[in-house]
Amino acid sequence: MKVLRPITQQDFASLRMIAEESGPGFTSLPVDDNKLSNKITRSMQSFEKSVVRPHDEGYLFVLEDHENKTILGTTAIEAAVGMDVPLYHYYKSKSVHHSPTLNVYNTVEVLTMCNDYTGATEICTLFLRPDHRKGLAGRFLSRSRFLFMADHSDRFSERVIAEMRGVNDEQGHSPFWEWLQAHFFSIDFPVADHLVGLGNKVFIAELMPKHPIYVNLLSEEAQAVIGQVHEKTIPALRLLEKEGFEHRGYVDLFDAGPTVEAKLHNIRSVRESVQCPIEIVDGIEGNTTLAISNRKLVDFRATYTNWARYDEARHCLQVRSEVADALQLSASDSVRFFEL
């Protein structure tokens, strides 16, 4: 059984291994011991914190094999981005050049740097180790965050975003960044990417072009990847689209990957989730796989299993004792679940 839970300092070695495996472009997990340790500390403090409204909290989770205690993946939620450190995006819009006198009408795409997502909640840092990317583990890791957000919605913004990894090759070269580098920077994409992961974003404001960029002036290679995702990110994007997330023109400054967004209470997993007490029934088995959380905060636990069945008439979820133990639940405790 796989269980999602808040990260602890005992998970540092596993988190560092995940940071190394994630590769270039995964800026939220830099291969830096101090930064990773600070991320864990910040997450633990966020779970303990009394929150009136979202600010700078960060909730980091790990997916653990309940039997052998191996860490299989990680995922996170940033409560309100851009509040202390600016969050930059490019917004892609259209500019019309029209001359009735010359009978000329041209529409061109324009990229404008902005901070439009300041204060939004961001779901991020989704990574499942390669050996476990089969079955429902990836889907659960993505959607299980919404169980937590549904029960603790006061900790999050109504606007939820996800920055999707853009196109870059195995060496970390980004076609979009290569155009920017040639005209405005003197550092390679992996270096810029690493600086962002370390929280050093001052150079963005210092060196990024201050005026809108006409897309048709970029190289063909750079134009082709605007709003496109890395091939390994396609499954994650498809999952979010099924949840109701949409791309509305915002892209990353460095690799031009799309940022998608949704309203918290319109997210499918939030809308379709059910709250009810549990009943422990050994040997119970359902016809579908359910994602189930214990609705707690500091002791949050979630798992997915078919050792559970919803009794709609009695409005209770029947689960095996193994499931109750994994979720740290007793009879009649409340859970939230949805069909995975």
- Known catalytic residues are 230
On whether the CB atoms of residues 152 and 297 are closer than 8 A, the answer is yes
Alpha carbons 132 and 290: distance in angstroms, whole number: 19
* Euclidean distance between CA atoms 189 and 173, whole angstroms: 6
Cα 276 from Cα 293, distance rounded (Å): 11
Q: What letters, b where the CB count within 10 A reaches 16 and e where it falls short, cover 151-190? A: bbeebbbebbbbbbbbbbeeebbbbbbbbbbeeebeebbb
Q: How far is CA 15 from CA 36, 70, 77, 214, 285, in A?
A: 8, 11, 16, 40, 34
